[in-house]
Amino acid sequence: MHPVAPSERRADADVNAVVAGYLRDLAFAQSSEQKMFGYKRAAAAILALETPLTELIGPEGALPRIPGIGPGSTRVIQEILETGDSPTVERAIQGSDRRADIERRRQLRHHFLSRAEVRRILQDVSLSGPSVEQYCGDLQMHSEWSDGSSSVREIADACVARGYMYAAVTDHSYGLRIAGGMSMVEAAQQRRAIDDVNLRMGADFRLLQGIEANIDVQGNLDVSDDEAATFDVVLAAPHSRLRRQEDQTERMLRAIAHPSVRILAHPRGRITGSRAGVIADWDRVFALAAERAVAIEIDGDPARQDLDHTLASRARDAGCLFALDSDAHTTAQLAYADTALAHARLANIPTDRIVNCWPLDQLLAWLAGPANLARPRDGHPRET
C-alpha cells in the first residue's frame, strides 16, 4: 500500500474526523445491531486518538493495532488513506435501505474536530486566541447531584490538578427530570458541600455553585427568579424542540433577557450526525447577548462542539463575551475544555472576551450583573 502523502491532501483536512465519519456511515448501513455497534465503537476510537492516522502509518503502509478497530474498520481506514474515500462504505450505503437517513446524518457533522485535530490547533503558533495556559477555570460541569458521576470534592480536586483557579458545578435544574434535575432542597445541600470544599481548598481555588436552567418553549427558565438568584452563576440552555424546522429566535432572546442568566449554554443543542439543533436568527441573538454582557458558550463536549468556530466568529463580530466549557459529566471529561479552546482559536476570539480567562475578582464582578461592567467604545466589557 502506498498512502497518499500528507502534502497531497487538503491542508485543512482532519483525517481522523473524515475516517470516523465513514465508519459511522458504515455503522448505520448495517442490518445487524452487533455490527452497527462495532463500527460506532471504531468511529469513537478514531475520534479519540491523540495522533492523526497519517502519522501512525508504518514504513510498509501498515497501521499499528488500535483498540476497538477490527479488520473491517482497518480496510475502510486504508482505503481512505490511499484514495481519500471508501468504496467499501459507498457500496454498503447503496445496498442499504437507510441511504436517505445516512445522507441526512452526513450533513450534520460539519465543523466537528477530532481529538488529534484539537491537539494540533492548540499547538499551532500561527493561531491567536486563548491558550491552555491562559484558561483559568471551567464553568459548566455536572456532578452526582444531577446526571454526573463525581462528587463536588472529586471535581474540585480534578480541577486543581488541571491548574484551574476556579470552576463552577452547574447541575441541571429540577425541570429537566430526564437528566436528574436537582431540586432546590438538594441545591441547598449541595451548597453546604461546596462550602466545605472551599473551606478545605483555601485561597488557591474557588468552587462556584451554578445551575444549568432549561429554556422552555416560550423562552422561560424552569426556575423562578428568586431561585435563580441563589446561585453563583446561571446557565440557560435549550433541551427541547431541537429537531424543529421553525424559527426560535424569540425563544432564545427571551432567555437571554432574563436578569439572572449569565451564559447561554450550547446555544443550538446540536449533536453530531443526529440533529442540527435550534434554528434562529443568530445575529439578533448575539446582538442582544453582547448588549447584556451574556456570554455565549462554546461547549467542548465532542458530540456537541456548540458553538463551532464558524458561528462563534459571528458572535465575535457582534461583540459577544464567551464561556469555553467542558460540559463534563465525569472528571476525565474535563479535558473536553480543550475542544472549546480549539474552536475559540479557530474563531480568533480575543482572550479578554473569554470569561474563563479572567481572574476570579473580574469573573465575580461580571457574575454579579452587567451593571458592574463598563462598555467602552470598542464594545469589549471591562470591570469598573
Residue 185 C-beta-side C-alpha neighbours within 13 Å = 0
pLDDT in tens, 33-81: 999 999 999 999 999 999 999 999 887 778 899 999 999 999 999 999 9
Residue 370 has pLDDT above 80, yes or no: no
Would you say residue 229 lies in a domain? yes
The whole-number pLDDT of residue 12 equals 55
Last residue of a domain, one of 49, 74, 107: 107
Same-domain pairing of 15 and 137: no
Pairwise CA distance, residues 345 & 360, whole Å: 22
Same-domain pairing of 340 and 202: yes
Lowest-confidence segment of 60-74, 139-153, 303-317 by average pLDDT: 60-74
Range of the domain at 70: 11-107
Would you say residue 117 lies in a domain? no
pLDDT in tens, 318-333: 999 999 999 999 999 9
Same-domain pairing of 24 and 140: no
What is the number of helices (H) and of strands (E) in the chain?
Answer: 14, 8
Same-domain pairing of 88 and 187: no
Pairwise CA distance, residues 256 & 277, whole Å: 17
The whole-number pLDDT of residue 3 equals 40
- Count of domains for the chain: 2
CATH code at position 155? 3.20.20.140
User: Model's pTM, two decimal places?
Assistant: 0.92
pLDDT in tens, 228-282: 999 999 999 999 999 999 999 999 999 999 999 999 999 999 999 999 999 999 9
Task: For the chain, give the mean pLDDT.
Answer: 92
pLDDT in tens, 104-143: 999 999 999 999 999 999 999 999 999 999 999 999 999 9
Would you say residue 118 lies in a domain? no
Going by C-alpha positions, the residue among 363, 295, 381, 310 that lies closest to residue 136 is 363
Strands 382-383 and 373-374: antiparallel
Same-domain pairing of 146 and 219: yes
How far is residue 244 from each of residues 213, 226, 247, measured CA to CA in Å?
21, 31, 8
The whole-number pLDDT of residue 57 equals 87
CA 93, 94, 99, 103 dihedral sign is: positive
Would you say residue 354 lies in a domain? yes
Same-domain pairing of 238 and 142: yes
